[in-house]
Amino acid sequence: MTFSPKTAHVASASLNQTVGDWSGNRTRILTAIGEARSRGARLLLLPELCIPGYSLGDRLLRRGTLERSWDSLQKILPHTHGIVVLLGLPISHRDVLYNGVAVVADGRIWGIVAKENLATGDVQYENRWYGAWAPDRQETYVAPDGTELPIGRLLFQAQGLGSFGIEICEDGWKGLRPGSTYALHGARIVLNPSASWFVLGKHRIRRDMVRQVSREDKTVYMYSSLVGCDATRLVFDGSVFIAHGGEIQAEGRRFIFHETMEMVDEVVDLSRLGQSRMEEGSWRQQVDDLEEGHFGPSPRRIVIDGNYSSEKPLVAPTPYWTQGTTIQDVDPSLRWLHEQGWLSRAPKETDLPYLELELALCLGLREYAAKCGIRRFVLALSGGRDSAMVAVLIHRMLHYDGVKSAEIADRFFTAYMGTDNSGSATQQAAASLAEEIGATHYEGEIQSTVDTHLDVIEAMTGTRVSWDEPSHDVPLQNVQARLRGSLIWMIANLKNGLLLSTSNKSEAAVGYATMDGDTSGGLSPIADVPKSMISHWLRWASEIHGYEALRSVLDTPATAELRPKDQGQTDEDDLMPYDILDRLMFHFVQLGQDPLDIFQALWPALAERYEGPQAFADHIRKFVRMLCFAQWKRERFAISFRVTAFDLDPKTGFRFPPVQAPFTEELQDLDAYIQTLGSAT
């Protein structure tokens, strides 16, 4: 028997799992095992916590979750003949929960590896439930059925596969990785089951990480993540990799809509890795350090019975000098879009952020609706940018999901509700867009309803609300938005559809939204998309998808159309230029900078846009105060999807106090600094 094979046939797969869907999750796992076996693979990697679903939340604290997870594992075991499979599930050991992976083969569990580095911070909260497994712990786990199993840092060996080790999701992102220790102890395959959520640009970082780790540790590095939208506000794009010595040998599709699994398999050259290690002096030095105990205790070795050799021949990798620079080469995970004819032209690398944003939001919408049993969608279509983006996203989502154009009218309903303050340009833009995407569109004139409300208020309070009174400005604006909210809710109820909110990230930051008005809805698809990016995305969507109606939307200045027309209301007049607001939001929220720090960081670049430093300082003051005072609104916003590096969601992202002093002293520091600039001038 030899544990140093020249090649091994391995497979990595993403799965679309749902929290608590025990039979469905198990069926998808068994389908993946069957597919891997049919391809001839002898080692299969599946995503983190694939048995119960990843985002379990406090459902983890229920004993039934642990019992059903273990029961599912037992039901899968008989289907593992001739193949080694990694299956993720929560484990209770000494009454502490651990995020674990069971290594199973030929109907038997051979050992359990527990996550060492917990994902905590930002939207992640694993420390709430799990314990972090210490690297030097190697113990015996007593299973619910009394079976005793090794648990801890384990190095597995199997004929035909050689030695392999496991690091779970976050473990692979840390400098002191478990995988490096496994490699130095002889593992030529390191596997990473993950539940890595999507953020714009993260896939490229993830791809680089997989490449770099496989090069540094001279391993076959296998990576698998979930796809879809699980039980949280996160979208999983479904990354799947097999890397070898610094090169991606196989990469799966991301953002798949119809299939519940994406799999790649490869015959990998293990002997080439061994040769590379022998040739490198630094590798020998590290192994010497390992023997002297510099890297901690050695992992426990587990020998898996059976022969997992493959007869499939090795295919030579593509030479590096033949690789191209199109988006299909830069990001092969999206090649399927062009292959299926779902884009009007072959995408370029500059399309990537807009395309990723579209796919992530469409996948989130599709998964949320499908897993909640929602078939229809309802939207207040104002003719402005925000509602236009939501409308196009719904249309794209239905398109990706295979809904025929003739069926969209029964799936998607829009409404334009005008007052005396509404313009014909927005009304026509809304109607044109609804017609172009095939939605059922309604139009209603609600000025008489507004007037009735004003009459009732006068009868109740004795106050005649009028635009001539400055203090009546907000009530008069809000009554229009809230009446629209009430009516669009009624349409949603009549159509038994999901009402979509159109709030964007920039306006959520400063509270430029009417509670129970334009914030009405059960889901807010673009709540993590800054306003400045919305405009860029609409231009891109108009060009690559050919939406003619978006041109008229973009030709109209962004406006709420809630004040009389002669006042010429625009959003940026009410607030500030959106690109500046978005910069302030980034520096204040993401970078955690105080007002003076923000001024000093941005003023040199923005000086030409202001008459003087005081004008910019006034915008900073306005932004900070509005953001602080608007936290109560953000506490009530509809569920949204995380797609950028930071979000404002108070439940998972920006956990800001609703009651606080609005950075009073910090703003005084800014004022004092501005005075010194004036004195210097």
Residue 500 sits in a domain whose CATH number is 3.40.50.620
- Do residues 264 and 390 both lie within one domain? no
The 10 Å Cβ neighbour count of residue 379 is: 30
Is 320 part of any domain? no
Question: Within a domain: residue 232?
Answer: yes
Confidence class of residue 321 from pLDDT cuts 50, 70 and 90?
very low
pLDDT of residue 509: 96
As a whole number of Å, the end-to-end CA separation of the chain is 83
Would the pLDDT of 248 be above 90?
yes
Place 681 in a pLDDT band, splitting at 50, 70 and 90. Answer: low
For residue 469, the model assigns a pLDDT of: 95
Token output for 391: 């409308």
Percentage, residues of the chain above pLDDT 70 = 96
d(CA 518, CA 520): 5
Residue 518 or 491, more confident: 491
Q: Tell me, yes or no, whether 2 lies in a domain.
A: no
CA 226, 18, 221 angle in degrees (round to 5)? 20
Backbone φ and ψ for 510, nearest 5 degrees, come out as -105, 5
pLDDT at residue 534 greater than cutoff 50 = yes
Record the tokens describing residue 281, joined without a space: 């002096």
Confidence check: pLDDT of 232 > 80: no
Residues 645, 545, single domain; the answer is: no
Mean of per-residue pLDDT scores for the chain = 92
3-class secondary structure, 308: coil
Q: How far is CA 634 from the centre of its chain?
A: 19
Q: What pLDDT, on the 0 to 100 scale, is given for residue 331?
A: 80
Angle 119-364-494 from CA coordinates, rounded to 5°: 135
Q: Do both 305 and 441 map to the same domain?
A: no
Which has the higher per-residue pLDDT, 344 or 648? Answer: 648
pLDDT > 60? residue 1 = no
Residue 517 sits in the same domain as residue 644: no
C-alpha 133/C-alpha 151 separation (Å) is: 10
Do 427 and 549 share a domain, yes or no? yes
pLDDT at res. 651:
83
Whether 554 and 602 share a structural domain: no
In the structure, what pLDDT confidence band is assigned to residue 120 with cuts at 50, 70 and 90? confident
Residue 122: its pLDDT value, please? 77
For residue 500, being part of any structural domain is answered with yes
Euclidean distance between CA atoms 598 and 424, whole angstroms: 40
The answer on 279 and 142 residing in a single domain is yes
Cα separation of 595 and 618, whole Å? 10
Give the CATH number, domain containing residue 161. Answer: 3.60.110.10
Share of the chain above pLDDT 90, in %: 79
- The last residue of a domain, from among 288, 315, 342: 315
CB 102 within 8 A of CB 87: yes
Q: Please tell me the total count of domains within the chain.
A: 3
Predicted model pTM: 0.92
Predicted pLDDT at 258: 83
Pairing of strands 96-105, 412-418: unpaired
pLDDT of residue 673: 94
**586 belongs to a structural domain:** yes
Residues 282 and 388 in one domain: no
- Which tokens go with 482? 């809230």
What range defines the domain where residue 676 resides? 576-681
φ, ψ of residue 610 in degrees (nearest 5): -125, 155
Does residue 49 surpass a pLDDT of 70? yes
The pLDDT of residue 293 is 65
Q: CA angle, 367 as apex, 511 and 263 as ends, to 5°?
A: 130
- Say if 1 falls within a structural domain: no
Are 143 and 55 within one domain? yes
- 379-414 confidence digits (pLDDT tens): 999 999 999 999 999 999 999 999 999 999 999 999
628, part of any domain? yes
Chosen domain end from 315, 345, 376: 315
Distance CA 616, CA 328 (A): 43
Q: pLDDT value at position 650? A: 87
With residue 14 as reference, give the H or E element that holds it.
Answer: strand 7-15
Q: Given this model, what pLDDT does residue 305 score?
A: 96
**pLDDT tops 90 at residue 113:** yes
Cα-flanking dihedrals φ and ψ of residue 279, to 5°? -80, -15
The alpha carbon of 432 is separated from its chain's Cα centroid by a whole number of angstroms, namely 32
Residues 222, 336, single domain; the answer is no
- Are 351 and 494 in a shared domain? yes
Domain assignment present for residue 189? The answer is yes
537: three-class secondary structure by DSSP? helix
Do 523 and 501 form a contact (C-beta atoms < 8 A)? yes
Residue 46 vs residues 36, 219, 237, 240, 255: alpha-carbon distances, Å: 11, 19, 15, 10, 17
Using the 3D structure, point to which of 260, 289, 315 is the last residue of a domain. 315
For the ranges 217-226, 277-286, 612-621, the lowest mean pLDDT is seen at 277-286
Q: Where are the beta strands (DSSP E) in 285-411?
A: 300-307, 377-380
Q: What is the DSSP letter of 41?
A: -
132 and 250 fall within a common domain: yes
- Per-residue confidence (pLDDT) for residue 653, from 0 to 100: 84
